[in-house]
A and B are shown apart, each in its own frame.
Chain A
Amino acid sequence: KQEVTQIPAALSVPEGENLVLNCSFTDSAIYNLQWFRQDPGKGLTSLLLIQSSQREQTSGRLNASLDKSSGRSTLYIAASQPGDSATYLCAVGGATNKLIFGTGTLLAVQP
């Protein structure tokens, strides 16, 4: 059974810092890994999707990497801003794009 873990559960950083969020999964037989952002009381916004054959994806200040063999992914946020404060969730995708989610990392960027 696939299990997804995110560390740390919460993180507080000063504005301008670069930071890394971690995601690990137990079964390497995945089709893709997706990173989402969730603002309080809202739905999820897709940030990046990495296909199983890819090593990384970039969007603006965000860079996500995938090491499928070791069951790990990282989300790197450069030059963090207070607007980046949210919960970040990773999820691994299998057949029919059913996603298994981690419990998220709550990020607070202090101005």
Chain B
Amino acid sequence: SQTIHQWPATLVQPVGSPLSLECTVEGTSNPNLYWYRQAAGRGLQLLFYSVGIGQISSEVPQNLSASRPQDRQFILSSKKLLLSDSGFYLCAWSVLRGRNSPLHFGNGTRLTVT
């Protein structure tokens, strides 16, 4: 069966520090991968999605970036965090080219920038 892992579960970082959140998927090949952010009182916002290794599409201009160094690994990064980067970050996957494939989410990372 397929599983998705995200870490760390919680993170407290000072303003200006770097960020690296990692997500891996097991039990499937060539998935679509997604990074979403959920801010307090707001809906989920799609940040990045990827249809293959090295293929990243950005949905929202910001100081975050994403990379996909391996088929089932998706990394969210920042060189210098802002207070506004605080939120709940969720990684998700779906079947490649599966327009009618359910999205499966990890358990998320709670990021607090102080």
Interfacial residues, chain A to chain B (CB-CB below 8 A): 4, 31-32, 34, 36, 41-46, 49, 51, 89, 91, 93, 95-104
Whole-angstrom CA separation of A39 from B80 in the bound complex: 31
- Among B34, B41, B101, B108, point to the contact of A42 (Cβ < 8 A): B108
When distances are taken between beta carbons in the complex, the residues of chain A under 8 Å from B110 are 41
Interfacial residues, chain B to chain A (CB-CB below 8 A): 6, 32, 34, 41-44, 46, 49, 51, 59, 90, 92, 94, 98-108, 110
Q: Are the C-beta atoms of A96 and B32 separated by less than 8 Å?
A: yes
A-B contact count (CB 8 A): 66
Nearest A residue (CB) for B88: A41
Nearest A residue (CB) for B44: A101
When distances are taken between beta carbons in the complex, the residues of chain B under 8 Å from A44 are 44, 90, 92, 103, 105
Q: Are the C-beta atoms of B99 and A93 separated by less than 8 Å?
A: yes
- Among A31, A43, A101, point to the contact of B106 (Cβ < 8 A): A43
